[in-house]
Structure 1
Amino acid sequence: MDRARRRFAIALAAMAGFIDAVGFLSADGYFVSFMSGNTTRLGVALGTDVPRAAMPALLIGGFVAGVTLGALAALKAGTRRKLAVLALVALCLLEAAGARAVGLHGAMLAGLVLAMGALNNTFLRDGEVAVGLTYMTGALVKLGQGLAREIAGTRAEWRPWALLWAGLLAGAVVGAFLQDRLPLGCLWIGAAWAMIMAAVAVRLPAEA
């Protein structure tokens, strides 16, 4: 991945962290992008308090639906798939911001989880996700492997993975800060962020 796309990926990971922090604080500790955490909460609920399984189950289903919609948008858009995917993300975030403004909590969470699912179709290679933007376990594994090779004396690319993780963390800090101080405005900021990223995607070289 070239330098421009690396910076682009970091900015998108920061956006994902921003939205996930807002969602987490709005959904009683559930996640709109981290489905491993929701799966664990689903399992705990199924084992201890079945009615509480509805929320994580719905969020997981919404995330998968978002991934599916994003993948379809990418397939239809061809070489401009980044633009198509990010336009879809922006639309979902605009819906979420509007739903929050009129007090529709469930519709807000639906827009957030659809957006985060769709976002993971931004970087594809042979139809598969090349860079996960809303989850960092893979990035941290690659970071650790790169550090091991560096310690062993072999030059390794570990810094991009550290920066990707740092981007998500920084976005989450900003999202939590604004959710606490600007609850009705932070999702409009997230939607504007997605639109800016879509505009940046237009300037990136077209992909085959």
Structure 2
Amino acid sequence: MIQYDRPRRLFAIALAAMAGFIDAVGFLSADGYFVSFMSGNSTRLGVSLGTDPARAAMPAVLIAGFLGGVTGGALLSRWAGTLRKPVVLAFVALMLLAAACGRMLGLPVLLLGGMVVAMGALNNTFQRGGEVSVGLTYMTGALVKLGQGLANALAGQPNSGWTSWASLWGGLLAGAVLGAFLQDRLPMGCLWLAAAYCAGMVAIAFRLPSDVSLGES
């Protein structure tokens, strides 16, 4: 995060906000399961396997869908080359459109499937050396780096960029607040808005091509 220029950092924050929005909508639509936070689903899977195996199917399917989204997004990013960002985000937008259609048609499999695949694919947006460099749908690493940066600041050491990690987390939190608000008040429209937002991110991504000088693959 801190190694990127300001436009890319702002772009990452905007995408993290979208991830928070979708995860909040998914959480409220899936009885407390997640469409982007797979650590939480993994814990729920383990609890279910240990106490009530019949309830393990839901988290297992969501984890599999997320993994499929990551894999599909990674393959797309390899194929797209320097156009990785817009191509991956276009795929995310299509999956969000599918989720919106699933809600409209009363098809929960399409609703949740579209969201979870979209969130998995989204994490391929920022890469260095073929590896994810900024996790957009999970914030544990960002909070760890934020805490380490705060420790450095309190110790009088140079600024290690902790404000960038704080902004990334804040973006996801703000998106989650808005997602929960609209899911409660505009449940049939919130995913259409998310898909439109993602389409806007595709347009912006064309202005942020991969830059070898920044170490992007």
Choose the corresponding residue for 1:181, options 163, 176, 185: 185
Unaligned stretches of 5+ residues in structure 2? 213-217
Deviations, residues 167-188 of structure 1 (Å, cap 9, x unaligned) = 0000000000000000000000
Root mean square deviation of aligned Cα: 0.7
Q: Structure 1 residue 166 and structure 2 residue 170: aligned?
A: yes
TM-score by length of 2: 0.95
Equivalenced residues, count: 208
Q: CA deviation at 1:15?
A: 0.2
Q: What residue in structure 1 maps to residue 121 of structure 2?
A: 118
Q: CA deviation at 1:151?
A: 1.1
Q: Structure 1 residue 60 and structure 2 residue 63: aligned?
A: yes
Q: What residue in structure 1 maps to residue 26 of structure 2?
A: 23
In 1: Cα distance, 2:82 partner to 2:109 partner:
34
TM-score by length of 1: 0.99
Q: CA deviation at 1:200?
A: 0.4
Aligned 8 A contact 2:83 2:209 in 1: no
* Same amino acid, percent of matched pairs: 71
Unaligned stretches of 5+ residues in structure 1? none
- Following TM superposition, the consecutive aligned residue runs of length 4 or more in structure 1 with deviations greater than 2 angstroms are 205-208
Q: CA deviation at 1:203?
A: 1.0
Q: CA deviation at 1:201?
A: 0.3
- Taking the TM superposition and a 5 Å limit, the aligned residue runs for 1:99-178 are 99-155=102-158, 156-178=160-182
Aligned 8 A contact 2:36 2:138 in 1: yes
Choose the corresponding residue for 1:96, options 86, 94, 99: 99
Q: Secondary structure at the match of 1:122?
A: coil
In 1: Cα distance, 2:56 partner to 2:126 partner:
32
Aligned 8 A contact 1:80 1:207 in 2: no
Choose the corresponding residue for 1:5, options 8, 29, 35: 8
In 2: Cα distance, 1:199 partner to 1:207 partner:
17
Aligned 8 A contact 1:45 1:53 in 2: yes
Q: Secondary structure at the match of 2:56?
A: helix
Q: CA deviation at 1:154?
A: 1.1
